[in-house]
Amino acid sequence: MPLYEFECIHCRSAVEDSLKKIGKHATKKTVTDLVNKYDNIYRIEVLDLENESLLADYGKKNDSGSFLDFYLDEGTKAVLFNSEDYRFTDLIYDESDEKKLKCPFCSSKKLEKVFSSFAFTSDLSTDMPKPDLSNLPASVRNRTMITDYIEEKDRPKSNR
Ligand SMILES: [Zn+2]
């Protein structure tokens, strides 16, 4: 079943624009203006990871939103967004389904199809996508091993 991921260009550009502005001026005024300007952004926090300090924050946390993190200045600064997710998934059976699609948050029809590891692949037997382990805690990830499943026809004869 073709399950596709889409990104709303409108909602995504709010986050992209915010990142750009925070990259220039990571101040309370900047994040306040951005949270007030964009409906889909509820809260922004800018952290200085070297000094472990909060550089700027503004907004009220919305638990039904999603949490995105970005890193600036060679990873020394983290920008945390609490916002509506600009990425969503939908089942698409034919082209007319795709034309009816709109962003669940802002209803914009300007969407971009995302090609992810979960996208439909035509031949699963030879090119199986592996699960993404990057979200697992390191302690779990280190104990998790993913090996290729070898089809019976491809196994060495001695194992049959
Ligand atoms: Zn949107």
Cα separation of the two ends of the chain: 33
As a whole number, the mean pLDDT across the chain is 84
Q: Confidence band (pLDDT; 50, 70, 90) for 125?
A: low
Q: Which domain holds residue 16?
A: 1-129
Q: Confidence band (pLDDT; 50, 70, 90) for 119?
A: very low
Which residue would you say has higher pLDDT here, 153 or 69?
Answer: 69
In a domain, 87, yes or no: yes
In a domain, 159, yes or no: no
Please say if the pLDDT value at position 126 is more than 60.
no
Rounded CA separation 126/76 (Å): 41
Q: What is the pLDDT of residue 158?
A: 65
In a domain, 149, yes or no: no
Structural domain tally of the chain? 1
Contact between residue 90 and residue 100 where contact means Cβ atoms under 8 Å apart:
no
Furthest C-alpha separation in the chain? 69
Q: How far is the CA of 142 from the centre of ligand 1 (A)?
A: 37
Please say if the pLDDT value at position 57 is more than 50.
yes
Q: How far is the CA of 54 from the centre of ligand 1 (A)?
A: 29
In a domain, 154, yes or no: no
Q: How far is the CA of 34 from the centre of ligand 1 (A)?
A: 16
